[in-house]
Amino acid sequence: MPVVKYIQAKTILSHVKGKDDWFGLKYNMNLYRGCAHGCIYCDSRSECYQIGDFDGEVLVKENALELLKKELPKKRVVGTIGFGSMNDPYQPVEKDLNMTGQALEIISEWKMPVHIITKSDLVLRDIKLLKEIGKIYSAVTFTITTADDELSKIIEPHSPTSSERFRAIGILSATGILTGITLMPVLPFITDSEENILSIVEKAKEAGAKYIIPSFGMTLRDRQREYFYGRLDAHFPGLSEKYRQKYKNYYSAGTPGYKKLSKLFFDKCTELGILTRIPKFSPGIERQETLF
């Protein structure tokens, strides 16, 4: 597991540039740099993000909560704060440090909406806070790429299994918290079977997920690509060569048979009444002085 180190951050809440069509985020927040879940396809390893030793260390922004307390009152526009864009806010170190939990407490006091992406059922610890924030808006999105726990242990080695994530969706949904799934990436030749996609949609329905947001394919760039191919060689002999031939140095590796697969996915979601976009918080509301 990665070594935990502490750093001082200059700022904590960043503005999301432009309109965020995926989740409707206005602000982004990363309490950690690096992620111990070790997903073999993780894009955050890419050189462009300049996270030095992504798999060797997790950096904790020691002053993040102080910064949040200072920066939140200055945000005049109420808009969704996103957790989990570059790391998992509920990765193992969170269990001891409770940085995400404390940040949610502060956000709850300031009545700001929140969206969380995670692969961990540790988020269940914060149900009470998420319910409170949900009076404005809160949503929890679990990334699930395979319905097969054995496969999830290979491709997402240090995160809770897919079954544990479906179970957590069930618990959150039952409490009325808006909960869904990001079905991404869909890894060519690994998780792109019709059986896998349909199984995820069916299990999502059983668990009470309200939405599934898909992306059929994956990114492949510099350091991420080398790491991914190394893991393929360890677990799927011969597959990295197939990737090299098909995707060369392309940034984007689309799922073969995308059209058929996506039709299958969207038809199944329609049949089961699952949305394929997340219901977003409406941004742009001016903060009411009387409320604060």
Choose between 228 and 265: whose C-beta lies nearer to ligand SF4. 228
Choose between 108 and 161: whose C-beta lies nearer to ligand SF4. 161
Residue 283 dihedral angles phi and psi, to the nearest 5°: -80, 170
Helix axes 194-207, 258-272, angle to 10 degrees: 20
- Please report, as ranges, the residues that interact with ligand SF4 according to CB under 6 A: 35, 37-39, 42, 44, 87-88, 119, 159
Choose between 42 and 99: whose C-beta lies nearer to ligand SF4. 42
CB of 123 to ligand SF4, least distance (A): 12
CB of 231 to ligand SF4, least distance (A): 12
CB of 219 to ligand SF4, least distance (A): 11
**Is the dihedral angle over the CA atoms 279, 283, 285, 289 positive or is it negative?**
positive
CB of 155 to ligand SF4, least distance (A): 9
CB of 89 to ligand SF4, least distance (A): 10
Farthest CA pair distance, the chain: 64
CB of 106 to ligand SF4, least distance (A): 23
Distance CA 157, CA 37 (A): 7
34 within 8 A of 42, measured Cβ to Cβ: no
Choose between 75 and 125: whose C-beta lies nearer to ligand SF4. 125
Supply 61's token pair: 């922004």
Query: Strand ranges (DSSP E) for the chain?
Result: 3-7, 13-15, 25-29, 32-33, 57-61, 77-78, 80-83, 114-118, 138-143, 178-183, 211-214, 217-219, 252-254, 285-286
Choose between 25 and 78: whose C-beta lies nearer to ligand SF4. 25
CB of 49 to ligand SF4, least distance (A): 10
Distance CA 99, CA 76 (A): 24
Choose between 45 and 268: whose C-beta lies nearer to ligand SF4. 45
N-to-C CA span, the chain: 42
Listed in sequence order, the residues at least 6 apart from 191 whose beta carbon sits closer than 8 Å to its beta carbon are: 145, 146, 151, 155, 185
Residue 197 dihedral angles phi and psi, to the nearest 5°: -65, -45
Tell me the pairing of strands 32-33 and 138-143: unpaired
Choose between 159 and 161: whose C-beta lies nearer to ligand SF4. 159
Choose between 84 and 134: whose C-beta lies nearer to ligand SF4. 84
CB of 47 to ligand SF4, least distance (A): 15
